[in-house]
């Protein structure tokens, strides 16, 4: 086969030196036929090997039959159905090449992000546990919100991924921004909804006048911007840091985010901290009425005067024992009220299975206990014993006087 170098020399010298084909063949040490073929070919020579076939060819027909019925059948299942015993990687590669003939393509449209249009939301979990207090450690979720136009990042660690904490975290970050985007984009996070928004999430969006859009499964392109932040946090924020508590984590995160938002974005031709000004000008102002984001429940206060919130027990004024009280919890504190009166207010704890007691509640319970015992003792002292002979007279029973005297003595 003629080499690329000889092919190029033949065509160049024949066109520029006006030399004969015979002389050109003699000088280059090739045959006359090689010169003719080089001058007739407009494309560089390329080695092409005749396909020798593959062991996959024997089962290709059965694989195609199965794919025609079920285009999404995994390669491992296909290999089992056709009795494949060869290389697994070879089989997967062959199936990967022919599957597009049976599975329709899933094209992705190019997204154009307008100012104020959308903010993508996601949860990120630290790769190392941090102290939660009371000797416990954990990896609480970090709520991340990224503007699609400016790329501006907001983030905050929250206690749990429950609906109340997710809404509380979003409201906290929206308050910091002092602006409401047209859409909040989420995946199928259970606290927000799965296929259908939870009632608190729908109410949250209605009060703010925005839309919470849930993406369908397997659609990473629609929320890839905020998901890429997970790697950014791992590589840019976490290395070399230690945290004393979730509060310390949020303080360090708040100090770092301005530097992260000051980086230059080549795709946006600007810095997020500068582009966010245009972003928020196009957003809605905060609603005059704040949305309800707190956890709420109503219970009858038991005799032990404690209420349970997120696995922790918090003491309540024991004067409300037996009454219906309303328990509320936000990201910072737990509050118990009844009839407009605050019965307890505790700092919310991130550790689990803890008992939080207000000493004033214990003192009041002791005083109520003493008062209850005093009243009970006084009631027992006023009890009068009655002569049982009255029942004999009532039913007309004749009882001898000597027997009655014996009965009185026995008593």
Torsion-angle region of 396 (φ positive above 0: left; ψ -120 to 50: alpha; else: beta): left
**What distance in Å separates the CA atoms of residue 309 and residue 351, rounded to the nearest whole number?**
12
Write the CB contacts of 249 (distance below 8 Å, at least 6 apart in sequence): 126, 130, 157, 243
State pLDDT tens for residues 187-222: 888 999 988 899 999 999 999 999 999 887 766 667
Residue 95 pLDDT > 80 = yes
State pLDDT tens for residues 401-410: 554 554 554 4
The lowest-confidence range among 32-36, 122-126, 253-257, 378-382 is 378-382
The lowest-confidence range among 67-81, 184-198, 215-229 is 215-229
Average pLDDT over residues 61-89: 93
User: What pLDDT was estimated at residue 220?
Assistant: 63
Closest by Cα among 70, 25, 230 to 141: 230
Closest by Cα among 135, 74, 60, 62 to 103: 74
User: What pLDDT was estimated at residue 406?
Assistant: 46
Contact status, residue 140 vs residue 124, Cβ threshold 8 Å: no
- The SS3 assignment for 337 reads strand
Half-sphere exposure of residue 323: CA atoms within 13 angstroms, side-chain side: 15
């Amino acid at each position: 086969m003629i080499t690329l170098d000889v092919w190029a020399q033949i065509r160049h010298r024949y066109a520029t030196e006006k030399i004969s084909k015979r002389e050109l063949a003699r000088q280059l040490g090739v045959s006359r036929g090689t010169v003719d073929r080089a001058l007739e070919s407009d494309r560089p020579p390329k080695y092409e090997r005749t396909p020798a076939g593959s062991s996959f060819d024997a089962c290709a027909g059965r694989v195609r039959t199965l794919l025609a019925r079920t285009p999404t059948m995994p390669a491992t299942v296909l290999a089992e159905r056709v009795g494949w015993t060869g290389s697994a990687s070879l089989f997967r590669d062959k199936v990967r090449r022919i599957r597009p003939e049976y599975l329709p393509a899933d094209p992705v449209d190019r997204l154009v992000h307008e100012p104020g249009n959308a903010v993508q939301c996601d949860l990120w979990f630290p790769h190392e546990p941090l102290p939660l207090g009371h000797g416990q450690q954990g990896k609480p979720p970090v709520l991340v919100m990224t503007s699609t136009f400016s790329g501006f990042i907001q983030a905050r660690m929250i206690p749990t991924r429950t609906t109340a904490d997710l809404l509380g975290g979003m409201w906290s970050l929206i308050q910091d921004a002092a602006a409401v985007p047209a859409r909040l984009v989420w995946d199928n996070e259970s606290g927000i909804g799965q296929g259908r928004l939870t009632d608190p999430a729908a109410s949250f969006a209605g009060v703010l006048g925005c839309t919470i859009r849930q993406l369908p499964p397997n659609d990473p392109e629609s929320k890839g911007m905020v998901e890429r932040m997970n790697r950014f946090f791992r590589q840019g924020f976490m290395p070399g840091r230690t945290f004393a508590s979730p509060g310390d984590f949020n303080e360090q995160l708040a100090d770092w985010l301005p530097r992260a938002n000051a980086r230059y974005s080549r795709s946006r031709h600007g810095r997020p901290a500068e582009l966010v000004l245009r972003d928020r000008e196009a957003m809605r102002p905060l609603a005059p009425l704040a949305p309800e984001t707190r956890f709420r429940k109503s219970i009858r206060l038991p005799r032990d005067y404690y209420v349970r919130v997120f696995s922790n027990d918090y003491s309540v004024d024991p004067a409300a024992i037996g009454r219906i009280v309303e328990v509320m919890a936000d990201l910072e504190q737990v509050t118990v009220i009844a009839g407009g009166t605050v019965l307890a207010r505790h700092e919310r704890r991130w550790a689990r299975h803890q008992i939080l007691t207000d000493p004033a509640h214990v003192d009041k319970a002791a005083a109520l206990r003493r008062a209850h015992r005093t009243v009970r003792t006084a009631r027992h002292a006023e009890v009068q014993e009655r002569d049982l002979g009255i029942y004999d007279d009532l039913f007309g029973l004749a009882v001898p006087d000597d027997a009655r005297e014996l009965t009185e003595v026995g008593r």
